[in-house]
Structure 1
């Protein structure tokens, strides 16, 4: 098994090697690359070139989490850590992604390799939400007299995002698609008050064994942030440059009004564009546009939310 993991590590080192060229494709033969991942890699290279950024070093590591063996075929589930040391103009930073993947090995030869949990996939919680709420949920404004004021602590939210970007706080449930649950935890760490309990399609809250849809489902949080006038509030801005650390980006990868992903801004690059953290494909200091994701399509839409408190 150790030999198989070494083969996979070498495979990923070779897969990442072209990035170091700074935008020019390297002549390299890989045993297998799916089309969607090859296209994502090409978009990443184009993005780096457009930004005048270079990956000067790659680091790859991984370990096996499960395997299934038949007489001639092995299904190998593993986690791979991909680190890119990027120099962008006068600012260096380290971008990291953790991917859960499955390799299919037939008679010692790699014949397939793919991401198990791609960005934006729908888990059980998302399916429950869309079965009950559909696409038309808009959070009604709260007209009660009670005031819920808070001062958003951006530093605390970012500290939480950095602490838990590749781990899971045992105080909260872990979801199949954990991106919005993670972002909600970051917002709460920044002092955002919960409201709406115990109605799942109202407010924004978490209390075991239940939680609001807006806590855990990207589509619901997107509409909550657009409509909330009390407690956790946000204003939509027109461009990513206007965002600050601790702000939120929502993603509709397919442009069909199903918002599938959420990230939090933890830093800015040399052009003052956001670098984000996220769960599902656990990511740190990833460029905000997600052009390097297999979920990306030309129809992608973004919502940029500045948390106001």
Structure 2
């Protein structure tokens, strides 16, 4: 759709205030001694309605960034839902589509596994987890439910593809599991998975490390964007940049090979907190 193409080009060219996620993305890679050498993009309309003489359009903006760091090149991809209003041929109110809140009946429970959990270890196939993350980064496996806020569901699927064992079924506030039309809170809710990984000693296990550079592909990063103790987002590490720092895949705003810190995210704030988890026994 030509209107969408023209609009997203204006959106980038019109960024003059230095505060948007696009400005932060450019600054982020400059700080990493890297350069965005090519940008490709397209928009795909997925919803339209008319009201009171106005036309409202929602579209998915699919961006690809070719990044050069030293002699290393990689491509980052990002899909963001946007919307705008069209009246008399003029575009107004262009913005990112707000994210729906993620709900949980017992969100404040700190899920730390079962009381009778033993010192169980499992073999984690990191390659299989990363291959799954690459296969489904911008689509949805029909074997699982798709959530409006899908980041944790996606990361859980990746870990399951890597052989992480499930346990706790059918009690939703115990363990980590998915079965048919039911699942644990820790499978699909960012806050719950963060606390589950901090304490589980049975089934899926994670070991917290201090720094992002200690992570390797297949590991998980948790994000508290506001720094208020409510964990909002999870990603899976799929690669490392030229300096050995993680690049991650994620759902909700579907993204591939994104720099781990999310400083270019619209959700980022200076108060952001992170947790870094090595998955498995290694």
TM-score, with length taken from structure 2: 0.94
Partner SS, residue 134 of structure 2: helix
Measure, in 2, the Cα distance between the counterparts of 1:149 and 1:234. 10
Q: Does 1:108 align with 2:89?
A: yes
Residues 301 and 144 (structure 1), Cα distance of their counterparts in 2 relative to 1, 3 Å cut = closer
Q: 112, 135, 155: which one pairs with 1:139?
A: 112
Q: Does 1:168 align with 2:140?
A: yes
User: Displacement, 1:139?
Assistant: 1.5
Cα RMSD, aligned residues only: 1.9
Q: 28, 48, 59: which one pairs with 1:78?
A: 59
Q: After TM superposition, which residue ranges in structure 1, 4 or more long, deviate above 3 angstroms?
A: none
What does residue range 224-243 of structure 1 map to in structure 2 within 5 Å?
A: 224-243=196-215
1:141–1:227: 8 Å Cα contact kept in structure 2?
A: no
Deviations 1:117-161 (A, max 9, x none): 54xx52xxx32x1xx32424241454245x754200000000000
Measure, in 1, the Cα distance between the counterparts of 2:148 and 2:67. 30
Q: 8, 13, 28: which one pairs with 1:12?
A: 8
Segment of structure 1 superposing worse, 71-80 or 248-257: 71-80
Q: 178, 197, 214: which one pairs with 1:206?
A: 178
Q: Which residue of 1 aligns with 2:261?
A: 289
Q: Which runs of 5+ in 1 are unaligned?
A: 17-27
1:195–1:204: 8 Å Cα contact kept in structure 2?
A: yes
Q: 106, 126, 134: which one pairs with 1:154?
A: 126
TM-score, with length taken from structure 1: 0.86
Deviations 1:207-250 (A, max 9, x none): 12110000000000000000001221111111110000000000
The number of equivalent residue pairs is 281
Q: Which runs of 5+ in 2 are unaligned?
A: none
What does residue range 261-276 of structure 1 map to in structure 2 within 5 Å?
A: 261-276=233-248
Partner SS, residue 225 of structure 1: helix
